[in-house]
Amino acid sequence: MARPGWGSLFGCFGSTSHGGSKSSRKKTKTKAKTKKKKKGSKQQQKVALSGMVSPEDLSLSLVGSNLHAFTIAELRAITRDFSMTNFIGEGGFGPVYKGNVDDKTKPGLRAQPVAVKLLDLEGGQGHTEWLTEVIFLGQLRHPNLVKLIGYCYEDEHRLLVYEFMTRGSLEKHLFKKYAASLPWSTRLKIAIGAAKGLAFLHEAEKPVIYRDFKTSNILLDSDYKAKLSDFGLAKDGPEDDETHVSTRVMGTQGYAAPEYIMTGHLTAKSDVYGFGVVLLELLSGRRSVDKSRPPREQSLVEWARPYLTDARRLDRVMDPNLAGQYSGRAAHKAAAVAHQCVSLNPKSRPHMSAVVEALEPLLALDDCLVGPFVYVAPPEEDKDGDAGNKGGSSGRRGRRRSRDGAAAAVVRPES
């Protein structure tokens, strides 16, 4: 779907883009004037970013987006006045509540559960991020992007209304202590869905850099279909002959690309790095940064990188909770993709469309599972030293049988 950039929406929003070499940035005075005009004056940018966009202007700019403008009274009604019984969770943006909407709430709105995100005015994010989310998700539609249904822009209130994602975030399923472990095929399905979402953003008519790719921003529906959410840090990609967007370094530790942290130069390859980190988390069941681990294992990327291209040592990376129930060939290929994505050289990282092409065939691989081998505990002996079951063999013979692989308890092979 064609999407206007910031500038065409408000005439004063724009990413600060730069070319690669000094010579290319000094071509002609005419080009410099054109760029200056495209970016708008600093004063204009300050006005826009400080929130000097009226609800009417926003509504006009979103004509054709099918977004509904809710009143705060309507959102209080559908969340039962933001009752704690409707509370889902809270992030950097603010608290999220579950609600239900239908045609009575807004004409033409089908009956469905929704998630209502309320901007915490004292939180880490603010009006600018809220506005960014409305603009991007108001214009972008894809099966692997969470659907924004509407928003509320009334007095000091800033809220967003999304489709309700039944299973919550990927982070919850991977890292919560009491969550059931995700099966291998489900992990692959999630990785492919998230990759498709990024590929769509990067290859849109006006490319978008997501900038905050991480497990907590990947939401799952009832069938574990992955959808990207939280576009508050998204940026329009570089235009024309520009190579990157220069911006203040923002994001989450462990997921941000090294070159972006060092220079503030943002490209689509910055998102590819973040995807590689999430793919590693899916493979390993480990967080991108874990201070509770030994010093050499705290950074997932640095610890895992040496093992990813070594088939004999890859099992050290794989999540023990998988209990060996995964395709060895698929794991090796997925690890190779992750290794490419987290390359220190951005030019060595693949495009997200290539990542999708590499991962999709892995769902069909059903070669012999890696482990587990089986073990039979020796039968208990009675007081006389005989086997507990009549006609059973001695404990010693039972142990010998267990080495032959008779069926019993599942044990993961040692690496």
Arithmetic mean of pLDDT over the chain: 79
Backbone dihedral angles phi then psi of residue 42, each to the nearest 5 degrees: -60, -35
Determine whether 212 is an active site residue.
yes
Long-range contacts of 175-179 (CB under 8 A, 24+ apart): 175/215, 175/285, 175/287
Q: What is the C-alpha to C-alpha distance for residues 190 and 262, in angstroms, rounded to an integer?
A: 30
Residue 153 lies in a domain: yes
**Tokens 């023990």 -> residue:** 320
Nearest to 326 by CA among 240, 52, 334, 77: 334
**pLDDT, average across residues 28-54:** 45
Joined tokens for residue 33:
């004037």
pLDDT for the residue numbered 114: 96
Got the DSSP string for 147-214? PEEEEEEETTEEEEEEE--TTEEHHHHHH-TTSPPPPHHHHHHHHHHHHHHHHHHHTSSS-EE-----
Please indicate, yes or no, whether residues 79 and 213 belong to a single structural domain of this protein. no
Please indicate, yes or no, whether residues 193 and 312 belong to a single structural domain of this protein. yes
**pLDDT, average across residues 97-114:** 92
Please indicate, yes or no, whether residues 85 and 190 belong to a single structural domain of this protein. no
Domain of 215: which CATH number? 1.10.510.10
Residue with more model confidence, 260 or 124: 260
Domain of 119: which CATH number? 3.30.200.20
**pLDDT, average across residues 333-347:** 97
Please indicate, yes or no, whether residues 325 and 197 belong to a single structural domain of this protein. yes
Partners of 98 in the β-ladder: 115
Please indicate, yes or no, whether residues 223 and 102 belong to a single structural domain of this protein. no
Domain that holds residue 347: 168-364
Please indicate, yes or no, whether residues 76 and 154 belong to a single structural domain of this protein. yes
Residue 60 lies in a domain: yes
pLDDT for the residue numbered 240: 57
Residue 27 lies in a domain: no
Q: What is the C-alpha to C-alpha distance for residues 15 and 245, in angstroms, rounded to an integer?
A: 7
Q: Write down which residue in 143, 163, 183 finishes a domain.
A: 163
Please indicate, yes or no, whether residues 213 and 315 belong to a single structural domain of this protein. yes
Q: What is the total count of domains within the chain?
A: 2
Residue 385 lies in a domain: no
Please indicate, yes or no, whether residues 218 and 122 belong to a single structural domain of this protein. no
Beta-carbon contacts of 272 under 8 Å, excluding residues fewer than 6 positions away, are 198, 341, 346, 349, 350, 351, 352, 355
Please indicate, yes or no, whether residues 147 and 292 belong to a single structural domain of this protein. no
Residue 26 lies in a domain: no
pLDDT for the residue numbered 22: 41
Please indicate, yes or no, whether residues 133 and 172 belong to a single structural domain of this protein. no
pLDDT for the residue numbered 35: 45
pLDDT beyond 80 at 243: no
Q: Give the DSSP H or E segment for 414.
A: none
**pLDDT, average across residues 289-308:** 96
Residue with more model confidence, 12 or 178: 178
**pLDDT, average across residues 380-397:** 46
Query: pLDDT confidence of 237, banded at 50, 70, 90?
Result: low
Please indicate, yes or no, whether residues 153 and 190 belong to a single structural domain of this protein. no
Choose the catalytic residue: 120, 155, 212, 241.
Answer: 212
Residue 231 lies in a domain: yes
Helix (H/G/I), strand (E/B), else coil: 231: coil
| ∠ Cα 191 144 300 (to 5°) | 30
Joined tokens for residue 179:
């969550």
Please indicate, yes or no, whether residues 295 and 197 belong to a single structural domain of this protein. yes
